[in-house]
Amino acid sequence: MMMELESSYSRHVDIYIGAHHYAEQAGWEIIIDEFADHRLAELRGGEPPYDGVIARSNETLMKHAKAIGLPVVNAWLNSPVADELPGVFPDFFEVGRLRGEHLISRGVTRFITLTADTVGHRMEVEGFRHALAEKNYPCEHIEVTNDVSHTIEQWHGIEKAMDRALAQLQPPVGIFAGHEMVGRLVAQRCRSFGLAVPQDVAIMTGCNESAFVEQPRPSLTSIDLDSEQVGYEAARMLHGLMDGRAPHTEKVFTPPAGVVVRESTDFHVVADADVEAALKYIAENFHRRIGPDDVAREVRLQTRTLQNRFRKALGWPVATEIRRVRVERAKRALAQSDRLVADIAEEVGYPDPMRLYEVFRREVGMSPSAFRKQRQNPPGLDGARAAGPSRASHAHE
C-alpha cells in the first residue's frame, strides 16, 4: 500500500484499515511501501516484492506497474492517472447532496460554496447544487485553493476571497467549504465581521478530520466519508485483478456514512422572533430538566401559543425540539468519546440512563452503545460489505 500514511489526514489511514480488514479475511500480507513507484522503477528484470498495489497512484507507479503486469487499484480521485487505472473512491456527488440537504433542513435559503478546482470538489458542488435546485435556491461559487498555507500569497488570497463574500452576504447563509482548513478560516473571518456561527453563517466543511473540525469552537459539521469502506472495496477490486480478471478503468464510488452534526449548523432559521428565542433557550438549557412550560415562560408566551407557533415555524412541537437537541448532543458525545453512557445521559438532561436508552432507540433506531460502536468501528468490514456489489460511477465521472 502506498497511501501517504504519514500525512495528517486520517482518511488515508482509514483506507489502510479497511484494506487490512479485507486482507485478514483473504489471508494476505499487507506491505506498506510509500516508495512503491521508485521500487518498481528500479526493478531490472527481477520479481516485484508484492502481487498487487493499492495506492494514491502517480504516473511513475502506473507506468512501471503496467510494464510488468502488476495490478494497481487507485484510491486518489484527483490523481493525474485516475482515468487510466481502476479505482475506488467516496461518492463525492452524494457527499455534496447530503451537505445541501442538511443545510436546507436548517432553514437556510442562500448559499455559498468555497471549493478548489479538483475532480472531487467539482462532483461535490454538482451534488450540492442538485439538492438546492429542487428548492430553486441560489448559490454563489468562489474558487479557492486547497493549499491554504502553501504560500503567504495564497493565504492572503483566500482571506480576501472570504472577506468579499462575508462583506456582502445577507444572513442567514449556508457555506460549504470544501477543505477543513478553509472551513476553519471561514469561522475565524466570521468573527472578524461580527457574524455569529451558526445563526448568521452555517458552515459545513471537509471530510470529518477531527484535528480541524472539533476544536476550537465552534466545532464544524462535516461528512463521514466512510474511508474504511473505500479501502475494503479497493482490496476486493485488487483481489479480482490478481485472480486474473483483465484490468479495467472503471471507477467505483462508495456511499458516505452520513452527516456529523456539530455546532456550526446546530440551529434552525426561523422568521418568528419568539420561536427563535425559544430555540436559543433550548440550545443553552437542554441539559436541565426543562419542558414546554419552562420554554414558554422564558419567552413570555402561553404554552399553547408557543406550541402553535412552533408547529407553524418548524413543523414539530416544543418537546420534540428539546428531545432532538438532547439526542444530537448525545450522538456527538458517543461518537467522539469513550465516556460512560450514564454520564452522557446526565449531561444531556436525562438523569436516568434508561430514559436516554428509550429515546435513542425510538429516535435513532438503535441503543446508544450500538450507535457508538457503529460510529467508532463502522460495521460490515468482517464480511457484510463483501456480500453485495459496490455502487458504480455516474456516467459523467
Residue 196 has pLDDT above 70, yes or no: yes
Q: Whole-prediction pTM value?
A: 0.79
Grid cell 465516556 in the structure block, residue? 339
Pick the range with the lowest mean pLDDT from 125-134, 216-225, 226-235, 369-378.
369-378
pLDDT of residue 384: 35
pLDDT of residue 377: 61
H-type alpha helices, the chain: 10-26, 36-41, 59-68, 92-105, 119-133, 152-168, 180-192, 210-213, 227-242, 273-285, 292-298, 303-314, 318-336, 341-347, 353-364, 368-376, 384-387
Residue 349 has pLDDT above 90, yes or no: yes
Contacts of 2 (CB under 8 A, 6+ apart): 33, 34, 35, 36, 37, 53, 54, 55, 56, 57, 61
Q: Residue 75: what are its φ and ψ, rounded to 5°?
A: -125, 25
pLDDT of residue 338: 85
pLDDT of residue 247: 64
pLDDT of residue 180: 92
Asked if 397 contacts 251 with a C-beta cutoff of 8 angstroms, the reply is: yes
Residue 40 has pLDDT above 70, yes or no: yes
pLDDT of residue 136: 95
Q: Which CATH number fits domain 273-376: 3.40.50.620, 3.40.50.1980, 1.10.3720.10, 1.10.10.60?
A: 1.10.10.60
Share of the chain above pLDDT 70, in %: 93
Measured distance CA(57)–CA(98) in Å, rounded: 28
Give the residue among 4, 42, 20 at the shortest CA–CA distance from 238: 20
Q: How many CA atoms lie within 13 A of 129 on its CB side?
A: 13
3-state secondary structure (DSSP) of residue 142: strand
Q: Which residue has the higher pLDDT, 114 or 372?
A: 114
pLDDT of residue 212: 86
Measured distance CA(326)–CA(340) in Å, rounded: 16
Residue 397 has pLDDT above 50, yes or no: no
Q: Which residue has the higher pLDDT, 300 or 167?
A: 300
Measured distance CA(193)–CA(144) in Å, rounded: 20
196-200, 376-380, 393-397 — most confident range: 196-200
Grid cell 485472480 in the structure block, residue? 243
Q: Is the dihedral of CA 128, 133, 137, 139 positive or negative?
A: positive
323, 327, 329, 331 alpha-carbon torsion, rounded to 10°: 180
Pairing between strand 53-55 and 87-90?
Answer: unpaired
Does the domain at residues 10-90+227-255 carry the CATH identifier 3.40.50.20? no
Measured distance CA(271)–CA(278) in Å, rounded: 12
- As a whole number, mean pLDDT of residues 220-232 equals 95
Residue 386 has pLDDT above 60, yes or no: no
C-alpha 98, offset from chain centre: 9
Which amino acid is residue 134, in one-letter code? E
Contacts of 356 (CB under 8 A, 6+ apart): 326, 330, 341, 344, 345, 348, 350, 368
- Angle between helical axes of 180-192 and 152-168 (0-180°, round to 10): 60
pLDDT of residue 390: 35
Asked if 91 contacts 254 with a C-beta cutoff of 8 angstroms, the reply is: yes
13-22, 144-153, 331-340 — most confident range: 13-22
- Cite the residue boundaries of each domain of the chain with CATH code 3.40.50.2300: 10-90+227-255, 92-225+260-265
Q: Which CATH number fits domain 92-225+260-265: 3.40.50.300, 3.40.50.2300, 2.60.40.10, 3.20.20.70?
A: 3.40.50.2300
- Rounded to the nearest integer, the mean pLDDT of the chain is 88
Q: How many CB atoms lie within 10 A of CB 211?
A: 10
Asked if 49 contacts 71 with a C-beta cutoff of 8 angstroms, the reply is: no
- Cite the residue boundaries of each domain of the chain with CATH code 1.10.10.60: 273-376
3-state secondary structure (DSSP) of residue 174: strand
